[in-house]
Structure 1
Amino acid sequence: METTENSLVEYGSRRIIITVVAVVCAMLELIDTTIVNVALNDLRGNLGATVNEIGWVITAYSLANVIIVPMTSWLSQQFGRRNYFAVSILVFTICSVLCGSATNIWQIMLYRFVQGLGGGALLVTSQTIIAESWPSEKRAVAQGIYTLGLIIGPTIGPTLGGYLIDHYSWPVIFYINVPIGIVATVLSLQYVRSPRYEQKRPANEVDWLGIILLTVGVSSLQYVLEKGQEDDWFSSKLIIILTVMAVFGIICFIWRQLNYRYPIVELRVLRNTNLRIGTILTFLIGFGLFGTTFVLPLYTQSLLGWSAFQSGILLLPGTLFVAVVVVIVSRLIQRGVSSKYLIVLGMLTFFVYGYWSYHLLTLQTGSANLYAVLFVRGLGLGLLYVPVTTMSLSTLEGKEIAQGAALTGMFRQLGGAFGVALISTFIARESQQHRVTLVSHLNQDDPTVQQRLSQLIAGFQQRGFDFLTAKQSAYAVLESSVQRQSTLLSYMDVFLWVGYLFLVSVPLVLIFVKESQRKTRVIETAGH
């Protein structure tokens, strides 16, 4: 059966190829978001960079992502979706080569920024392509497939990066993108179609002021979130200035987009209730997912002494379990199960994950126990991602799908940035508070404390230390023990409060999420 003139629904091998290309491209973008994390020490040594400078390898990529994501719908309209998608893959691939061949920190920062512009476009455009390539009654299945890329990408990034760093060298983490990028570019040019409703606007109708306000506001906000804790927040003049710029830029941008005839980000689409609630839930998922994923490697590496590769492997079984849950959830939605109640169940499951982690984490927790709780995390993510993405786009048509995907993509990125920034600050503050509390209970007159000190001093003396040095070393051991315990308590608090955040959000879903009243059109015939 031929598709209608304006339909982008594909069938047979064309749909399979388009879906695989889109998912792989989304995964590439997300893998490159996290794969660099485990290579920072190697990059710093080889490029002669300071600790602060090397952090910009991550920050530059994130800044570019957050700037480009909300503009993807407009850029697709300007250049045609197929062309824009293919060029984005090409930019990402070329910059991967340039990053791997960089000889100093400034080069790789520039290349990572441009790579982020291409990568951010891949993430959202992939979602739009998949959503429109599948018929509306199978959109839950399509979003389930896309969700696998969203979850697997960030998970395997550190594992893959750790393996490549251990066995090869840091440029390889960029070069592996090249063959995949070349194949994806060729296939996208051959198979991806541009919708007929996309029409290029004249240059005099382009909202250049909106682009400037978006860039200034979002990039300033991203910097504040990334570097605020490092610069001690508002004790830094730069952070204060950028906070003012972020607030001013974002407020003016929103006003501009709501009042300008040809906005670059169609905020008016948020009149759709499901999309509006979906963007909030997407922000929440980004906050919880990236926030807790950020803490887990810190816990396993700094407190349990695991390597980066071991920490990455820890996440793999739970992630594979997500794939199973996503398939089941997609089929349940396709058979008429309410997305609203699946989302509620996912939030309650994520609360269980946070609450269980709070009680599970110790300085001696074994990997078997961590695997178990991460399966619960996988169940929660599977129950959340597919229903939320499906619900967000369920009542949108035509170009609104691309506009909605761009907004949910932006909020996912911002949720992750907020999550990492706020949790970093929370850990620093809570760790200090727990340290004060623990030290207050270390009374030198306490027989238990005296016994522990005596044992430590005796142990150091047996190793050849004089009494004064042995005593100083014993106190240092106690200080280290207090610091480790206070850090552990702060990590435990993170999981507990993230769990509570999901729990208190349940009423938001029950009250505001509405089931789609639109009757599903049957697009496929029995022959398909």
Structure 2
Amino acid sequence: MATAATADNDLVEYGFRRVIITITAVLCALLEIVDTTIVNVALTNMRGSLGATLTDVAWVITAYAIANVIVIPMTSWLSQQFGRRNYFAVSIIVFTVASFLCGNATNIWELVAFRFIQGLGGGALLVTAQTIITESYPVEKRSMAQAIYGMGVIVGPTLGPPLGGYLVDNFSWPYIFYINIPLGIIATFLTLTFVRSPKYGEKLKANQVDWWGIIFLSAFIGSLQFVLEHGQQDDWFSNSTIIILSTVSFLGLLAFIWRELTYKYPIVNLSVLKDGNLRIGILMGFILGFGLYGSTLIIPIYTQQILGWTALDAGMLLIPGSITTAILMPFVGKMIQKGIPQSYMISVGFLVFFFFTFWMHNVMTPDTGVEHFYWPLILRGIGLGLLFVPITTLSLSTLKGKHIGEGAAFTGMFRQLGGSFGIAIITTFITRFSQKHRVDLIANLDGSKFEVQERLNAMKRMFRSKGFSANEAMQKAYQLFDLSILKQSTVLAYMDIFMALGIMFLCCIPIVLLIKRSKNKVDISDAMH
């Protein structure tokens, strides 16, 4: 214990050095997370300039996500093998070079390949940045370090769409990648100058490396991520590719678990999952990712698809809530330092998120204005602020030594997977609920009613005034009426989704009761020792 404490104290920074390391770590976390969402608003432009289909261009998102979730669980092990500072610096360089190559891609598959490489570099930045920033603070301020890191993780997904929209509207889509280059160069320089690595034990020889574990993990996570990204557009299990990859993912999971439990030098230490608080924490982290990434997806799509907003306006809508989260995070860190139980904050956070979804359910119409979204999204920001740091610290609260780093990798991976599941399930159910509501609306629509006839005649008169014949005007009136029904059914589907999200968060509150209280403050700096 004395050795570990000495190592921890050796890595604590003060004054100017700590400020620089904090800025570097947050910058790298932001770079990685912004890039998960920044491309969403540029896909149409990419299709046009690269001559790609919608299915092809979706791989730009999928390749990055697959690389991310594969490398996150291996980050702790890779840091030990190569030294954390070296691994972090190389990851930034890989991310930066791949960003340049993405911007210069001449066809869609070049872009997909470079996005995969970018994802490999980016995934490493998340967990490593979390550990570096935490180790730079003394033990009594570690919850504040988590809060500072959390600002990047929570704010990042909402910065992507407006930033991407601005760059695409005013420049062109390659600039969403070029913007990473100067930031990456600065981050690399600061890392090599200021970041220090803890001392590690003996490195593994090449023949001791868990190559089969890496292969099984890649098969499991990679296939699962593909299924989640493409399931809805490929009609899930009606598609042979989805069936094959689901089978590969399941078998890969079984083989991975067997390998990690039986091999002497596992790439991922599964025994850490024996800890009850970690299991509960990664479940709540999964739900947090589900709500965070799910709502970050659903709100811009709703405002663009139903309300006709631009991508930039849709992205800007999320900014006030993100600022609220960023302001709240340090206060949450101080509350934890003062001994307020994290379980109380998590319970309140889940409840606040439920109120946000309930409020959104009630304000959604085909004509909702920006003023109706403002306060619900502020409430969302408060809920997220009350969830991230307490969930992270509670997940690791009963772990010790290097198990904390291994636990942190699991929390990061499950938060990302929660986002992937959230996006996949939400997009699927929007489509299915829309179809159901459309059928219900048409079934209850009586064409002989005066109100229906009056509306159709009003539309017909409008088209007649524009020079259409009586038959053409009537046909267009029916088309417009049908479009109105489709729009209304889609709004009802979004309302259902928000209510389901809220109920899911509400159901998480009792899980908090299962958490064991730890008398010791979690020392996240033990993560890599």
When normalised by structure 2's length, the TM-score is 0.96
Offset of 1:9 from its aligned partner?
Answer: 2.1
Say yes or no: does 1:197 pair with 2:200. yes
Q: 1:112 aligns with which of 109, 112, 115?
A: 115
CA contact (8 A) 2:71 2:124 kept: yes
1:402 maps to 2:399: no
d(CA) in 2 for partners of 1:13, 1:121: 25
Aligned equivalents of 1:12, 1:270: Cα separation in 2: 37
C-alpha deviation, 1:394, in angstroms: 2.9
One-letter code of the match for 2:384?
Answer: L
- The alignment partner of 1:4 has SS state of helix
How far residue 441 of structure 1 moved from its aligned partner, in angstroms, is 1.4
Amino acid in structure 2 at the alignment position of 1:35: I
Matched, 1:444 2:447: yes
Q: What's the secondary structure of 2:468's corresponding residue? A: coil
- The match for 1:340 is 343
Name 1:526's counterpart in structure 2. none
Mapping 1:203-242, distance limit 5 Å: 203-242=206-245
Contact 1:78 1:198 in 2 (8 A): no
Amino acid at match of 1:264: I
Q: Which position in structure 2 is the counterpart of 1:60?
A: 63
Rounded to whole Å, the distance in 1 between the matches of 2:423 and 2:316 is 21
- TM-aligned CA deviation for residue 140 of structure 1: 1.0
180-189 or 252-261: bigger deviation: 252-261
Give the Cα separation in 2 of the matches to 1:516 and 1:199: 32
1:427 to 427, 430, 433: 430
Q: Give the counterpart of 2:355 among 330, 352, 355.
A: 352
SS in 1 for 2:204: coil
Q: Render the CA deviation track for 1:366-412: whole Å, top value 9, x for unaligned.
A: 11120110000001000001111121223333322221111111101
In the alignment, structure 1 segments of 5+ residues that lack a partner are 524-528
Paired residue type of 2:205: P
Structure 2: any 5+ residue segments left out of the alignment?
none
CA distance in 2, matches of 1:135, 1:199: 27
Is the Cα–Cα contact under 8 Å of residues 197 and 399 in structure 1 kept in the other structure?
no
For residue 11 of structure 1, what is the amino acid of its counterpart? Answer: Y
Report the RMSD for the aligned CA atoms in angstroms: 1.5
- Asked whether the equivalents of residues 80 and 198 of structure 1 are also in contact (C-alpha less than 8 Å), the reply is no
Aligned 1:262-281 pairs, distance under 5 A: 262-281=265-284
Structure 1 residue 238: deviation in Å?
0.8
Within 2, Cα distance between the matches of 1:334 and 1:274? 19
The answer (yes or no) to whether the contact 1:258–1:267 under 8 Å persists in 2 is: yes
Contact 2:17 2:194 in 1 (8 A): yes
1:472 and 2:472 aligned: no
The aligned amino acid for 1:400 is H
- Judge conservation of contact 1:31–1:157 (CA < 8 Å) in 2: yes
Report if the CA contact (8 A) 1:139-1:390 is conserved: no
Matches within 5 A, 1:92-131: 92-131=95-134
Q: What letter is aligned with 2:515?
A: V
TM-superposition CA deviations, 1:412-470 (whole Å, max 9, x none): 11000000001111111111000000001111111111111111112211211111111
| Change over 3 Å in CA distance of 1:170–1:508 after alignment to 2 | same
Could you say which residue in structure 1 is the equivalent of 2:78? 75
Structure-1-length-normalised TM-score: 0.96
Query: Are the equivalent residues in 1 in contact too, given 2:22–2:133 (CA < 8 A)?
Result: yes
Aligned 8 A contact 2:352 2:380 in 1: yes
Does 1:457 find its partner at 2:460? Answer: yes
- Give the superposition deviation at 1:198: 4.8
Aligned to 2:45: 42
8 Å contact kept, 1:292–1:494: no
1:329 to 329, 332, 338: 332
8 Å CA contact 1:353, 1:373 repeated in 2:
yes
Match of 2:289 among 273, 286, 290: 286
In the TM superposition, what whole-angstrom CA distance separates every residue of 1:322-357 from its partner, at most 9, and x where no partner exists?
112112111111101000010000000001011111
The worse-fitting range, judged by mean Cα deviation, of 342-351 and 451-460 is: 451-460
Q: Given that residues 340 and 515 in structure 1 are in contact (C-alpha distance below 8 angstroms), is that contact kept between their aligned partners in structure 2?
A: no
- Of 87, 94, 111, 1:84 maps to 87
Instruction: Give yes or no for the alignment of 1:4 onto 2:26.
Output: no
In 1, Cα distance between the equivalents of 2:113 and 2:401? Answer: 36
How far apart in 1 are the matches of 2:522 and 2:160? 38
